[in-house]
């Protein structure tokens, strides 16, 4: 029997849900507050859209979802990354696999993914209307439609909430889904930022603002548990408040209980060289430039803007000549090159986070269908649910898998 279905939100999960639901013969209306679909999708992967991760094992997928990964067992098994890849290639978007199994369109353009999804929903007869939904219409624990800011009301047999999280609110994802969920009696786990820049105690970060460090390795140390909780290699960036960039964003999702001073970021500025190799390199530079000031010698080893801060931290006078540098001073320099330490004080706010951690309590959603256990005919998919993953295309895979499952369950 064909049903009348409303999908709220035309992001990654809503477009998926709407298209597959309509493909089954249902009459689907997609309500989106923006004039265009997939605004957040457009900015994913720095405009290149890391559309999924080409991992083939279900367990590996779940391991990359540190919060409530098991809840996604059915959604992932019904729509795996290989299905995502096949889906987009069948829509005419050739894909490529990069480092870490990250999948991108060959064109490096997220607009190709958005256009493909838009074409998919249109071809399946989904009707899209620009509306800002303000509440659900619920009677006797069953949803029967939605009310909009315009004053319009839409009735439906089923409603799918695909409104996303609360980060990057300018894209339209402002957390409205949490209001709808509460209205239906759901618990909302407090939204928190994840994959987010980090604030640091050290004032010199603002002095280094804009400096990007490439090919460095980092470690995050938990002072309370006395252990390293994360390590990575890649690129990071100094900002006026602390640090950002790929390795920092990834690290942030491993920090679960933020407390000022509890976590430290240790940067190895020369990961390719051992202590001994660095010592030899310094000795060579000192020998070749005996009357050069240490500050100028360090310019040969580090980005220019980092050198004054670096030399100050070694407590060696910047004018010290190479032939005056003692063994202890050399050890001090090498120690700092191998372990440049920053103290983390906080996450940046939620609206700067790539992902919202928290959301609708998973125990109140049927993982086999994405239907609410508390309100009949109501479904959820995507980031609005309390699941979040590491970087690498896993978050979009969550949106596609849960959207596919919700759309196919009606």
Ligand X SMILES: Cc1cc2nc3c(=O)[nH]c(=O)nc-3n(C[C@H](O)[C@H](O)[C@H](O)COP(=O)(O)OP(=O)(O)OC[C@H]3O[C@@H](n4cnc5c(N)ncnc54)[C@H](O)[C@@H]3O)c2cc1C
Show the site string, 133-152: x = touches ligand X by CB under 6 A, - = not.
x-------------------
Residue of 19, 28, 29, 45 interacting with ligand X (CB under 6 A): 45
Residue of 6, 7, 14, 95 interacting with ligand X (CB under 6 A): 14
Shortest distance in whole angstroms from residue 364 CB to ligand X: 18
Residue 244 binds ligand X, judged by CB under 6 A: no
Residue of 168, 230, 286, 380 interacting with ligand X (CB under 6 A): 168
Residue 249 binds ligand X, judged by CB under 6 A: no
330 is written with which tokens? 């050399």
CA distances from 85 to 52, 101, 103, 396 (A): 8, 12, 8, 12
Residue 19 binds ligand X, judged by CB under 6 A: no
Nearer of residues 177 and 242 to ligand X, judged by Cβ: 177
Shortest distance in whole angstroms from residue 209 CB to ligand X: 20
Which residues make Cβ contacts (< 8 Å) with residue 90, sequence separation at least 6?
Answer: none
How many other β-carbons are positioned within 10 Å of the β-carbon of residue 113? Answer: 27
Residue of 20, 22, 32, 65 interacting with ligand X (CB under 6 A): 32
CA angle 135, 138, 144 (to 5 degrees): 95
- The residue among 194, 168, 174, 179 whose CA lies nearest residue 388 is 194
Residue of 396, 405, 406, 410 interacting with ligand X (CB under 6 A): 396
384 is written with which tokens? 């609005």
Which residues make Cβ contacts (< 8 Å) with residue 200, sequence separation at least 6?
Answer: 241, 242, 243, 265, 342, 343, 344, 345
Residue 26 binds ligand X, judged by CB under 6 A: no
- The residue among 410, 265, 233 whose CA lies nearest residue 345 is 265
Residue 34 binds ligand X, judged by CB under 6 A: yes
Residue 253 binds ligand X, judged by CB under 6 A: no
Nearer of residues 21 and 297 to ligand X, judged by Cβ: 21
314/336 Cα distance (integer angstroms): 7
Residue 176 binds ligand X, judged by CB under 6 A: yes
User: Order of strands across the sheet with 52-53?
Assistant: 52-53, 102-105, 95-98
Residue 407 binds ligand X, judged by CB under 6 A: no
Helix (H, G, I), strand (E, B) or coil at 25: coil
Nearer of residues 49 and 294 to ligand X, judged by Cβ: 49
Residue 12 binds ligand X, judged by CB under 6 A: yes
- The residue among 381, 290, 281 whose CA lies nearest residue 333 is 281
Binding range to ligand X, per CB under 6 A, among 7-15, 121-129, 296-304, 358-366: 7-15
Q: Which residue has the tokens 């006026």?
A: 240
Show the site string, 352-391: x = touches ligand X by CB under 6 A, - = not.
--xx--------------------------xxx-------
Binding range to ligand X, per CB under 6 A, among 10-18, 73-81, 309-317, 320-328: 10-18
Residue 11 binds ligand X, judged by CB under 6 A: yes
98/280 Cα distance (integer angstroms): 36
Q: Which residue has the tokens 């409205």?
A: 176
Q: Which residues bind ligand X (CB under 6 A)?
A: 8-14, 31-34, 39-41, 43-45, 49-50, 132-133, 162-164, 167-168, 172-173, 176, 354-355, 382-384, 393-396, 399
């Amino acid at each position: 029997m064909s049903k009348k279905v409303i999908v709220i939100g035309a992001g990654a999960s809503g477009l998926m849900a709407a298209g597959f639901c309509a493909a089954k013969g249902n009459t689907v209306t997609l309500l989106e507050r923006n004039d265009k679909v997939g605004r957040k999708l457009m900015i994913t992967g720095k405009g290149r859209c890391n559309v999924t991760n080409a991992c083939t094992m279900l367990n590996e997928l779940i391991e990359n979802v540190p919060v409530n990964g098991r809840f996604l067992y059915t959604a992932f098994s019904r729509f795996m990354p290989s299905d995502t890849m096949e889906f987009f290639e069948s829509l005419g978007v050739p894909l490529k696999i990069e480092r870490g199994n990250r999948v991108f369109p060959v064109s490096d353009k997220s607009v190709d993914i958005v256009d493909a999804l838009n074409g998919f929903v249109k071809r399946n007869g989904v009707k899209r209307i620009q509306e800002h939904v303000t509440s659900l219409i619920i009677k006797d624990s069953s949803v029967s439609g939605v009310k909009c800011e315009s004053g319009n009301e839409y009735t439906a047999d089923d409603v799918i909430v695909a409104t996303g999280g609360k980060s990057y609110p300018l894209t339209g994802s402002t957390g409205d889904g949490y209001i709808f969920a509460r209205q239906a009696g759901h618990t909302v786990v407090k939204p928190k930022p994840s994959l987010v820049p980090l604030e640091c105690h050290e004032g010199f970060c603002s002095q280094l603002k804009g400096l990007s460090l490439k090919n460095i390795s980092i470690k995050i140390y938990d002072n309370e548990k006395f252990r390293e909780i994360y390590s990575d290699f890649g690129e990071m960036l100094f900002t006026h408040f602390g640090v950002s960039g790929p390795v920092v964003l990834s690290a942030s999702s491993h920090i679960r209980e933020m407390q000022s001073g509890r976590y430290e970021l240790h940067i190895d500025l020369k990961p390719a060289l051992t202590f001994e190799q660095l010592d030899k390199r310094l000795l060579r530079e000192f020998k070749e430039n005996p009357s050069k000031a240490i500050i100028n010698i360090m310019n040969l080893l580090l980005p220019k803007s980092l050198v004054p801060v670096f030399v100050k931290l070694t407590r060696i006078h910047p004018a010290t000549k190479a032939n005056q540098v003692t063994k202890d001073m050399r050890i001090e320099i090498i120690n700092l090159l191998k372990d440049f330490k920053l103290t983390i004080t906080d996450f940046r706010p939620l609206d700067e986070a790539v992902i919202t951690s928290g959301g609708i309590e998973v125990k109140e959603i049927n993982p086999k269908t994405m239907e609410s256990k508390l309100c009949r005919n109501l479904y959820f998919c995507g980031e609005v649910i309390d699941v979040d993953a590491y970087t690498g295309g896993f978050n979009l895979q969550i949106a596609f898998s849960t959207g596919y499952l919700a759309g196919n369950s009606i």
